[in-house]
Amino acid sequence: MKLLATYFMAALLAVSAFSSHAAGEAAPAKVAKPDLVSGEAKFTAVCAACHGADGNSGTPAYPKLSQQHPEYLVKQLQEYKSGVRKNAIMQGFAATLSDDDMKNIAFWVSAKKAKPGFAKDKELVALGERIYRGGLADRQIAACAGCHSPTGAGIPAQYPRLGGQHADYTATQLTGFRDSVRQNSLQMTQVAAKLNDREIRALADYIAGLR
């Protein structure tokens, strides 16, 4: 009887240990929160000279980063570092950043408010609005608003914010997609391939004024 009781207790302990181990395996790993203090320090040291102290670049050739979706920023930095997205300047900077650096920078700058931009070419802005909002059905060009939203706010973790972005930068990126210079989005390559220079300028100008 004593042996039976001892065996029973050992079995219970074994089941308990197995259950605890299984529960430990099933528990989701905790994702570390971004370190915004570190993100600000790293942004100031590495990014601010071109992109502005708060992510609002004052140079039309360099994009505004403020209020951009952090997941999108991390993806771009990773692709600069790996060489999937080509840019000699950005590859050099991204190469110095760890995954944690990228996350911290992205979440810090995304929390900064973007300054509004303005459309400048009255002759082109109507064409830009037409393409952005409705596309060009006869040429199978989809409306930009479908992915980037009517206000240019984008969709977090999927499509980047465009509203208020410098027209020069947007035009350069659309041209890069069209000419296969930028190759890190098949979807954008397919859309931009159907746009001519005038349509690209029109879209970029319209997007600059979106808010």
Q: Give the residue among 115, 95, 100, 92 at the shortest CA–CA distance from 165.
A: 115
- Decide which of 1.10.760.10, 1.20.1370.20, 3.30.450.20, 1.10.3720.10 is the CATH code for 122-208: 1.10.760.10
Tokens (6 digits) for 18:
């197995």
Residue 7 in this model has a pLDDT that exceeds 60: no
CB neighbourhood size of 164 (10 A) = 21
Topology of the domain covering 36-110: Cytochrome Bc1 Complex; Chain D, domain 2 (1.10.760)
* Domain definitions of the chain by residue range: 36-110, 122-208
Residue 19 in this model has a pLDDT that exceeds 80: no
Could you tell me the pLDDT band of residue 123, with boundaries at 50, 70 and 90?
Answer: confident
**Whether the Cβ atoms of residue 105 and residue 180 lie closer than 8 Å to each other:** no
Tokens (6 digits) for 93:
């900077």
Question: Can you give the pLDDT at residue 70?
Answer: 98
State how far the Cα of 51 lies from the Cα of 47, in Å rounded to an integer: 6
Q: How far is CA 41 from CA 32, 65, 95, 115, 116, in A?
A: 18, 16, 17, 21, 25
Question: Can you give the pLDDT at residue 29?
Answer: 55
pLDDT in tens, 174-183: 999 999 999 9
pLDDT in tens, 51-82: 999 999 999 999 999 999 999 999 999 999 99
Can you give the pTM of this predicted structure? 0.84
